[in-house]
Amino acid sequence: MREDLFPRDLCVELRTLRDDTAQHSFAHTLAEVEAASGRRLKDLFLSFDTDPVASGSIAQVHRATLRPEFCPSGAPTSVAVKVRHPGVEHVLQQDLDLAAAALNGLRMVPGLSQLAPPVALDEFSRVLRRQADLRLEAANLDAFTHNFRDRGYLHVTFPQPIRGLVSKAVLIETWEEGSTIQDFVDVSSRFNQGLASRGYDIFLSMLLLDNHMHGDTHSGNIFVRLRDSRSGLLLDWRPVQARGTGEARS
């Protein structure tokens, strides 16, 4: 997605890997959700969109409304239901085996013996396998919420996993409204400078204060709300140091 490094046409095509890959069947989604929750779908949700809103390389996401008895607020809640594609772990292992074979082949070429040492591939493999476990994603969301609990001036929130409804293959979390930040990257907007400043401060907070980084900050994972959901006021995108008064979340 780095149009400063690659041609725009290539970046646009590669974006499909983020949210427009092949979808799995609703039957698989149904089976995984019911297995993870121990309940029938109709007993868990007031509504459930059978067509996914997005499908990535690991999982696809459906929008649903959770019944109030399963919501911390005690009221019906819009949620994102993330369900892992069937056979993901097997496909990942195949890809990693191919990468290892390619690396070994490259190291046999004169002058390339030091290229991409095996330790780099081992680390990459470890991270990739962990990404396929949605329980880890839920734990990270909890960690980010905890780390930013006293940083209201940054105006950032994270989806909240629903307790008891998370498994290795299923993650149910609160639905976050907003426009993808890609919408702002693609056009000139009076909000862009403020968005960049806020994103910079959030990044440095993760790096310098928490030593706990979000490692997948592509545009499909960053949404922007320009208005306060309570007052309806337009966000004042001043630098964080100026402590803008807007209540919108980025």
Q: What span, in angstroms and rounded, lies between the C-alpha atoms of 207 and 175?
A: 26
Phi, psi of 39 (to 5 degrees): -135, 155
Average of per-residue pLDDT across 43-48: 97
| C-alpha closest to that of 205 among 148, 123, 163 | 148
On whether both 124 and 185 belong to a single domain, the answer is no
CA distance 201 to 222: 15
Q: What's the pLDDT band for 100 if we cut at 50, 70, 90? A: confident
The tokens for 88 are 């993901």
- Confidence (pLDDT) at 250: 34
pLDDT for the residue 121: 79
- Look up residue 13 and give its two tokens: 């095509």
Q: Which residues are catalytic?
A: 216
Q: How confident is the model at residue 116 (pLDDT cuts 50, 70, 90)?
A: low
Number of domains into which the chain is organized: 2
Residue with the larger pLDDT of the pair 51 and 124: 51
If asked whether residues 123 and 182 sit together in one domain, one would say: no
Q: Do the domain assignments include residue 111?
A: yes
Q: What is the pTM of this model?
A: 0.80
Please give the pLDDT value at position 48: 97
The pLDDT value given to residue 177: 86
What domain range is 111 assigned to?
Answer: 88-130
| Structural domain contains residue 233 | yes
**Rounded distance between C-alpha atoms, residue 86 and residue 108, angstroms:** 36
